[in-house]
Chain A
Amino acid sequence: MSKLERIKVVELPAEQNLRPLLHEIGHALRKLADRGEEHVIDLRAMPFGPGDEAALMRFLGEGEASGRVDALGETRIRESRFPGVWLIDHYNEDGGRIALQIEITRMPSILRTPPEELQDSLAGFGLALKERETN
């Protein structure tokens, strides 16, 4: 253990692997601004080294909006300090990350109510209202 401690832990220069990704985000943001085109980047496919993800998070920072979805585990949604660039962090029920994505959009898709659930929602709402009024 003592030997291990003698080895200094060094923060690695991250720019090398981050650069193309940041450029991709910038490019997507321009398309969103110009034409309203949305874009998703799967960070699982990125050859991140140690420190790269942290450096990305530092760069993106935190913006005004954030959210949270509980479905098959938690999903944390946070807008970065650059409006339109969102971080979508999916976890399973045991708190293990299952996906990490960047969405360049005005509203992340997971936050929008799925149309398939509107009928059920309507029925449930009606039922709940009826129940309230009968009581």
Chain B
Amino acid sequence: MSDHNTLGEILRERGVSRRGFLKFCTATASMMALPPTMTMAVAEALEKAPRPSVIWLSFQECTGCTESLTRSHAPTIESLIFDHVSLDYHHTLQAASGDAAEAAREEAMHAHHGKYLLVVDGSIPLGDPGFSTIAGISNLDMLKETAEGAAAIIAVGTCAAFGGLPHAAPNPTGAVSVSDIIKDKPIVNVSGCPPIPSVITGVLAHFLTFGGLPELDQYGRPMVFFGQSIHDRCYRRPFYDKGLFAETFDDEGARKGWCLYRLGCKGPMTYNACATMKWNQGTSWPIESGHGCLGCSEPDFWDAGGFYKALSIPTSDLAGAIGTGLGVGAAVGIAAGAMAHKKKTDAEHEREPLTVEQLEGES
């Protein structure tokens, strides 16, 4: 496949009919959460979309994000998008290893300088570069070096987007996110632990289709996928509004599919597309399978106060606070009260009767 081919050409070469192409565009628009009316615009753009070079860097990560993307049991529309990009470096997926792999990265960086897309998963340790290195190069150096010539960066997963699990207290490696380091490049955060695969490809599709980055929220996440909270799109929301809650994971409420707020669901504070995109080819998603949202696409979700604690419950030791308040309050109260009482009785004891003569003397 030549680098100069457009997506339209590639698909036609593979014998995809116009109907097939339009169907592909329909699915792509749907994946990008665009309204169906945008299908023709997508088709027009995709027809002319050039084939971009992609460099994928993995730092402090668990490969879950790559798994999410590649472990789709049936190849779907996502694979077509992936087939189209030129994935020039991904140390988990590529056949080349060692020096050859690094050479491929450098070659892609030079050949497509200023045009390639950099995808990063995993956080970057600042505590000691030795915590995570690739081919002897620290994550920090590799990120800076590779980011320099990138057209844009996609931070895939909560680790790359916000620091994620490595960043959780006490953050032994001094892990930070991509955007903590790179300040002069457009960065899209595709958070989630892992992110929904079609959200990753949706962002790629957007880059392919429109040659730029989608509209982002204040965390740098694409609005189309992260614009609404889980809670607002949750099919169990009507139960929340009616005040019907599961109290345990096996009570009647749980069986009837009532709201999981009381079981610690973080849906109200979590912005992601799970409720509509779902997981495993649209099979289900955490709340549908009976478990509250963990809030994995939010910054610091590990430290946000317990997965099974309702959002409105304080994270700290309230009973202790009440106990302390009661104890100290009673002690100080008794002391202050006793002093006041003494003042009052002293005044009574020291009292000298008032006489009319004294009054008349004054007035």
Q: Of B17, B257, B288, which is within 8 A of A10 by CB?
A: B257
B23 on interface, CB distance cutoff 8 Å = yes
Q: Using a CB-CB cutoff of 8 Å, which residues 29-52 of chain A contact chain B?
A: 40-42, 44-50, 52
A40 near B276 with CB under 8 A, answer no
CB-contact partner of A8 in B19, B77, B255, under 8 A: B255
Residue of chain A at shortest CB distance from B238: A16
Contact bitstring B31-45, A, C-beta under 8 A = 1, else 0:
101011101000000
Is A99 in contact with B17, judged by CB distance below 8 angstroms?
A: no
- Chain B residues near A80 (CB-CB < 8 A): none
Residues of A within 8 A of B (CB): 7-8, 10, 12, 16-17, 40-42, 44-50, 52, 69, 71-73, 75, 90, 92-99, 101, 109-110, 114, 116-117
Contact residues in B for A41 (Cβ distance below 8 Å): 36
Complex: A69 Cα to B250 Cα, angstroms: 45
Of the candidates A16, A95, A101, the one whose C-beta lies within 8 Å of that of B26 is A101
> Can you name 14 A-B residue pairings with CB atoms under 8 Å?
A10-B256, A12-B257, A16-B238, A42-B29, A42-B30, A45-B276, A47-B235, A47-B237, A49-B288, A72-B24, A92-B76, A99-B27, A114-B18, A117-B17
List 7 A-B pairs, minimum CB-CB distance, nearest first: A49-B235, A71-B20, A40-B36, A16-B238, A72-B20, A114-B18, A96-B74
User: Which residues of chain A are within 8 angstroms of B234 by Cβ–Cβ distance?
Assistant: 47
Q: Please, how many angstroms separate the alpha-carbon atoms of A94 and B78 in the complex?
A: 13
B23 contact from A16, A46, A110, Cβ within 8 A: A110
Hey, which chain B residues are within 8 Å of A95, CB to CB?
A: 74
Within 8 A of A (CB), among B232-268: 233-238, 250, 255-257
> What is the minimal beta-carbon distance from A56 to any residue of chain B, in angstroms?
13
The answer to whether B236 touches A44, judged by C-beta atoms less than 8 angstroms apart, is no
Q: Which residues of B contact A52 (CB under 8 A)?
A: 235
Please report the C-alpha to C-alpha distance between residue A71 and residue B21 in the assembled complex, in whole angstroms.
8
Cα separation A132 to B255 with both chains bound (whole Å): 66
Q: Would you call B36 and A42 a contact (CB within 8 A)?
A: yes
Looking at the assembled complex, report how far the CB atom of B223 sits from the nearest CB atom of chain A, in whole angstroms: 14
On whether the beta carbons of A94 and B74 are closer than 8 Å, the reply is: yes
Choice from A10, A40, A96 contacting B281 with Cβ under 8 Å: A96
CB distance from A59 to the nearest CB of B (A): 17
A113 to B284, CA, bound (A): 35
The residue from A16, A46, A69, A101 contacting B19, defined by CB atoms under 8 A apart: A69
Inter-chain contact B257/A50, CB cutoff 8 Å: yes
Q: B236 and A98: CB pair below 8 A?
A: no
Alpha-carbon distance between A42 and B33 when the two chains are bound, in angstroms: 9
Complex CA gap A101/B275 in Å reads: 17
User: A47 touching B35 by the CB < 8 A rule?
Assistant: no
Encode contact with A along B64-100: 1 for CB under 8 Å, 0 otherwise: 0000000000111100000000000000000000000
A81 to B136, CA, bound (A): 66
> Which residues on B sit within 8 Å (CB–CB) of A90?
23, 26-27
List of A residues within 8 angstroms of B29 by Cβ: 42
CA distance A102 to B236 in the complex (A): 23
- Contact residues in B for A7 (Cβ distance below 8 Å): 250, 255
- Asked if B314 is an interface residue, CB under 8 A from chain A, the answer is no
Query: Which chain A residues lie closer than 8 Å to B23 at the CB level?
Result: 69, 71-73, 75, 90, 98-99, 110
> Once the chains are docked, how many angstroms separate the CA of A12 from the CA of B254?
11
